[in-house]
Amino acid sequence: MFNSDNPTPEGVETLTFAQKVRLGSFLGLSVKNGLLNLVTLTLYRFWGRTEVRRRLWQAIYLNDEPFEYTGRGGELFRGFLYAMLLVGLPLLVVVAGAQFLGPKFAALIIFPIYLFLFVLFGFARFSAFRYLASRTLWRGVRFQLKGSRIRYGFSYLGYLLLSVITLGWFWPAAERRLAGPLWDGLRFGDRRFRFSLDAARKIPIYRAFIPAALVFGVLYFAVMGVIFAIRFAAQKAQPAAPDGAMIVLIYAMLLPLSVLGVLIFAPYQAARLRSVVAGISLEDARFRLEVKWWGMAMLELGNLLLLIISLGLLFPVVEARTARFLISRLKSTGTADLASAVQAPRGPGTGEGLADAFGAINL
């Protein structure tokens, strides 16, 4: 079960990950969650998400000991209510009030709010990770995420603006940098994880990003061009052509476009994940994610298909597939003292309210 009589210096181990995710179990859970969401006007989603995580966490093993998720549906629900009351409602009042005061004033106030929303998005993302860490247990010891959520929110906005200014050029670097605080602030009990940008940079991401962005850009404009050409021709031939056909056409083009997009960006996604994982360390243990672009493409295409066919119902299956894919490719070398971590404090009482409102949660 574990090696308390390990010959290595006390408590020092290499890290071996394993997973026993059974997709069938998540298929049943998807159906159950879907039905209960229907009955409760989607209010059950917090409990449904919690059960998905509980099953997922306990199917992931580190050195033969499964993780445990200790979060509760009620915590997510309360977090959601707080977020609606403390952020959603005031925002609504301000926006409605601004419109009331006239269009010019509205424009003046909407722009800063827009910027503020991006800060909030980063804030929400960090909060969600902090909650997740605090509800993750291994060998009876909690994880914790330290760091400033506000600072993370502002770096999110900053990196986003930089990406906009550089026409997306900076975005891959931004994504990698934004992973930094989430891993550098992570602790198993009192044992500190580190994130090194230099180590992460050893795996190039722009080499995969540039061709993908170029190809996709050309493809995107080609498709848009075709749509406009057809629209123009249709309007000439029959001025009163129904809008319905146009909408069908646009969707018919978007599906292959998103499939191609997944394929084209798969090498970049794989490189990005490899790069981030390469930057993480725990004491002398370093990590490696053996993800190839083809595997990544198959994973994402499968997920896309499952979600489209099931109208999102099979999201738990998608999460399970993704976890299975990643954990079975996660390797570690070097050692860490995993036996003398001291318990972390309980962490925040509620979680993810904001992130739920933004739809910003994956896992």
Partner 1 sequence: MDGAFFDGRTSRPHQVDVAISEGALLFEAGGTRHAWPLEGLRVEVLGDRVRLSCDAGADGRLTLSRADWRAVLGRHGRRVEARGRRREGRVVLSLAAVGLTMAAIVFVGLPAASGPLARHTPPDLERQIGDSFDAQLGLGMKTCSGGEGQAALARFGHQLQARTGTPFDIRVRAVRAPFANAMALPGGRILVTDKLIAFTRTPDELSAVIAHEVAHVERRHVMQAMWRSLGAGLLLDLVVGGGSGAGQQAVLLAGSASDLRYSRRAEAEADARGMELLQAEGLSSQGMAPFFRRVAAGDGEKAASPLRELVSSHPDSLRRAQVSAAHARPGAAAFDTQAWASIRAACPPARAPH
Q: Which residues bind partner 1 (CB under 8 A)?
A: 1-2, 4, 11, 20, 34, 36-45, 47, 58, 66, 68, 73-74, 80, 83-84, 88, 92, 99-103, 137-142, 188-189, 240, 242, 244, 311-313, 315, 338-343, 356-359
Least distance from C-beta 344 to partner 1, angstroms? 10
Query: Smallest gap, in angstroms, from Cβ of residue 306 to partner 1?
Result: 13
The residue assigned the tokens 């994956």 is: 362
CB of 301 to partner 1, least distance (A): 20
Q: Kindly tell me which of 191 and 286 has the beta carbon lying closer to partner 1.
A: 191
Q: Pick the closer one to partner 1 by CB: 60 or 273.
A: 60
Q: How does DSSP classify residue 313?
A: T
Considering the complex, state which of residue 44 and residue 268 has its C-beta at the smaller distance from partner 1. Answer: 44
> Is residue 319 within 8 Å of residue 54, measured between CB atoms?
no
| Contact in structure between 354 and 127 (CB atoms under 8 Å) | yes
Nearest CA among 325, 307, 308, 305 for reference residue 316: 307
| 169 three-class SS | coil
Asked whether 275 and 206 are in contact (CB, 8 A), the reply is: no
Nearest CA-CA partner of 151 in 126, 129, 177, 187: 126
Cβ 207 to partner 1 shortest distance, Å: 33
Which residue has tokens 């079960």? 1
Q: Which is nearer to partner 1, 21 or 208 (CB)?
A: 21
Closest CB to partner 1 among 20 and 202?
A: 20
Question: Least distance from C-beta 342 to partner 1, angstroms?
Answer: 5
- What is the distance between the alpha carbons of residues 261 and 302, in angstroms, rounded to a whole number? 14
